[in-house]
Amino acid sequence: MTQPTNTPGRLYISHAPDGRAYARKLAEYLQRVGIATEVDNDGLPAPNMEKLRKRVDRSVGLLVLVTKESATSDQVGHELDRAMEMGRPIFVLLLHGKRLPLLLNQCPYEVARWSRMPSAAFVSQLYQALGGSSTSQIALIEPAAQRRAAAPLLVLSALAAVLLVIGGGYWIGSRPRGETVSPPTPTVTTAPVVSENPAPPDTVTITSPQEGAVVHRCERVRGTANLPDNKTMLFARNRTGPPDAVWYFNYVGTYQNGFVPPEWAGTVYFGSATRQSYDLVIVVMEVKAAARFWQQHKSEDNSYAFANDLPAGAERAALVRVRQGTMDDCE
């Protein structure tokens, strides 16, 4: 008997005027792979904010297009604020610039230059965050622009093959009579063995940075996880040299509502000086328990939480010890 597959919820695409054309193409692309989308096609100089609020409210997630005009767009800011207020998962496509706005640093993102559509991995992450139970049936359709970009390479490859055949025939025809030619010894390349077994249940690992690494003030942290949908993760960092009694917390990525993907990423800010040592811990909690902890210990601007110890009942799932070497911001 075939198991039923949950259809993902609606995704709202937030964009500034200079991202409208790409947003429409992106909406069509995502709909073709099974993700329902909604885009503001009104194009009004002064959009109806109440109407936009309702659109965000009836969507399950938000995808922000970062363009030249998005940082100063009242509409994008309003949609982003509403999505954060409603606890919606937020994703980002970087169409312009080299770095994300500070407010979006914790969000899963992908660079989408030259109007490229997002990768299969990014779409799969969207699908799961929106409540889809399976991504095995997603058939990604390669954008025509990417096919056109690949066409010259195919022509060159075909031309190279023809020249190789002609050159080989000339070489064979010009060898001395009676001389035998041994065929070239084939080179056998063994493909790396990739484990198909997922990580054990209720496990989290940090793959980057590694133990003892020198990190920037703003560091991109990556890892793997196999967690139930009702659990989320927090970064917990504590300065060990010179010692500090306070732990500082922020959510990993935008998984505060659970549904942590098998491969996750998030951003951590360390201290205001170099040559300091830190313990960086991944704390796993149930979504509701993490929300209660955050409300009780959050900062005034709601950008982080702090406490003198790890949350009661939380699981200390992963740990790396690092040293801050620069004051560089995230790229």
Residue tagged 């993490």 (tokens):
290
Q: Do residues 259 and 130 touch, judged by C-beta distance below 8 A? A: no
**For residue 79, is it within any domain?**
yes
Domain end point (choices 129, 154, 180): 129
Say whether both 207 and 124 belong to one domain: no
CATH number of the domain at 104, please.
3.40.50.10140
Domain end point (choices 129, 149, 168): 129
Environment class of 72 (CB within 10 Å of its CB; exposed 0-12, middle 13-18, buried 19+): exposed
**For residue 192, is it within any domain?**
no
Mean pLDDT of 72-80: 87
Q: Residue 304 gets which letter from DSSP?
A: -
Structure tokens at 128: 């799961």
**For residue 157, is it within any domain?**
no
Mean pLDDT of 69-94: 87
What is the per-residue pLDDT for 11? 94
Mean pLDDT of 94-112: 79
Say whether both 210 and 320 belong to one domain: yes
Q: How confident is the model at residue 181 (pLDDT cuts 50, 70, 90)?
A: very low
Does position 129 have pLDDT exceeding 90, yes or no?
Answer: no
> Is 0.85 surpassed by the pTM of this model?
no
Does position 168 have pLDDT exceeding 60, yes or no?
Answer: no
Q: Do residues 287 and 295 touch, judged by C-beta distance below 8 A? A: no
CATH number of the domain at 313, please.
2.60.40
Say whether both 212 and 123 belong to one domain: no
Mean pLDDT of 304-326: 93
What is the per-residue pLDDT for 45? 62
Does position 115 have pLDDT exceeding 60, yes or no?
Answer: yes
Q: Which helix (H) or strand (E) holds 215?
A: strand 214-215
Range of the domain at 271: 203-324
Which of 320 and 120 is assigned the larger pLDDT?
320
